[in-house]
Structure 1
Amino acid sequence: MESSIPELLLAGGRLMFIGMTIVFLFLALLVGVIHVTSRLIGRYSPEEPVALKPVSAVVARSTGGEDEAEIVAAITAAVHRYQNK
């Protein structure tokens, strides 16, 4: 009742081939279904052109040393607290 190693390897190879074939066929079918769905959606609901409104760019400007001093103080306090844990 014991199988030899070559027989077990052959059975394992067959099982691996069948499994990989099933996965490949499923993925190919999935790609096909997605492609067909994309075409159907594109055909029955055409994309309407959307007019985009121009957005003005907001530029943050530094008002001086006050903001930078507060930021440096906050960073220094955070580093000091982290090092003293």
Structure 2
Amino acid sequence: MIQMRRKRLTNKNKIYTPGSETTISLNYSPVSEVLEVEFTGGKIYHYLHVRPEVWEDYKTEVRMGGSSGAFVNARIKPFYDPVRLE
């Protein structure tokens, strides 16, 4: 895991996840292909090179009642390196 100074993404695409035990919000930048995940413990990570299709899959999953944390654990963490924001 890399830790570095990065700016938070704008709130344009932010999805709040109040029902989740592990995430507070997810945000995505299609231009830079960065997925920002804010976890309930207060840590914020950027996952780089996340394709837009993955973000669309996430939104569909959450809309259909799926777990935000389960999606992150299954579809993000195993495939993308985290960059922790300070």
Q: TM-score range by the shorter chain?
A: under 0.3
| Larger relative contact order, structure 1 or 2 (CA cutoff 8 Å, min sep 6) | 2
TM-score, normalised to structure 1's length?
0.22
The structure with the larger Rg is 1
TM-score, normalised to structure 2's length?
0.22
